[in-house]
Amino acid sequence: MSDYQIIVVGAGAAGLAAALELARAGNKVAILEARDRIGGRIFTRHDAASNAPVELGAEFIHGRPAEIWDILRRQKIPAWEGGGENWVAEKGELRPSDFFAEVDELMAKMNDREPDESFLHFIERCCREPRYEQAKNWARRYVTGFHAADPALVSVHSLVHGLRAQEQVDGDRTFHMESGYQSLVEYFRSELEKHAVPMFLNTVVERIRWGHGQVRIAARGLTPTFSAAKLVLTVPLGVLQSTPADEGHIQFNPELPKSKHDALRHLVMGKVIRITLCFRERFWDALHPSSRLPQKTLADLRFLLSSESPFPTWWTTAPRQFPIITGWAPFHCAETLAGKGNDVVTGTALHTLSRILPVSVQALSKLLSSAYTHDWQSDPFSRGAYSYVKVGGEGAQRELSRPIDDTLFFAGEATDFRGHNGTVHAAIHSGQRAAAELFRC
211-221 confidence digits (pLDDT tens): 999 999 999 98
Single-letter amino acid, residue 144: T
Q: Is the pLDDT of residue 98 over 80?
A: no
Tell me the pLDDT tens digit for each residue of 155-208. Answer: 999 999 999 999 999 999 999 999 999 999 999 999 999 999 999 999 999 999
Cβ contact 338:377 at 8 Å = yes
What's the rounded Cα separation, in Å, for the pair 107 and 98?
A: 15
Cβ contact 84:322 at 8 Å = no
Task: Check residue 1 and give its pLDDT.
Answer: 56
Task: Check residue 135 and give its pLDDT.
Answer: 82
How distant, in Å, are the alpha carbons of 56, 288, 399 from that of 35?
Answer: 15, 45, 27
- Torsion on CA atoms 233, 418, 180, 171, rounded to nearest 10: 170
Q: Where are the alpha helices (DSSP H) in 307-405?
A: 332-337, 342-356, 361-367, 396-401
Cβ contact 283:367 at 8 Å = yes
Q: Is the whole-model pTM more than 0.75? A: yes
| 8-state DSSP, 320 | S
Closest CA relative to residue 398, chosen from 423, 430, 366, 359: 430
Tell me the pLDDT tens digit for each residue of 267-307. Answer: 999 999 999 999 999 999 999 887 677 788 999 999 999 99
| 8-state DSSP, 35 | S
What's the rounded Cα separation, in Å, for the pair 332 and 48?
A: 33
Q: Is the pLDDT of residue 131 over 90?
A: no
Q: Is the pLDDT of residue 96 over 60?
A: yes
Single-letter amino acid, residue 236: P
Task: Check residue 230 and give its pLDDT.
Answer: 98
Band (10; pLDDT cuts 50, 70, 90): very high
What's the rounded Cα separation, in Å, for the pair 393 and 123?
A: 19
On average, the pLDDT of the chain sits at 95
**Cis bond leading into 380, ω under 30°?**
no
Task: Check residue 290 and give its pLDDT.
Answer: 72
Q: Is the pLDDT of residue 238 over 90?
A: yes
Question: Within its chain, how far is the Cα of 102 from the centroid?
Answer: 24
What's the rounded Cα separation, in Å, for the pair 381 and 353?
A: 30
What's the rounded Cα separation, in Å, for the pair 328 and 309?
A: 10
Domain ranges of the chain: 2-41+180-269+391-440, 99-168
Tell me the pLDDT tens digit for each residue of 402-420. Answer: 999 999 999 999 999 999 9
Average pLDDT over residues 236-250: 97
User: Does 3.40.190.10 match the CATH number of domain 2-41+180-269+391-440?
Assistant: no
Angle, CA of 31, 37 and 42, to the nearest 5°: 100
Percent of the chain past pLDDT 90, that is, above it, reads: 86
Tell me the pLDDT tens digit for each residue of 323-334. Answer: 999 999 998 999
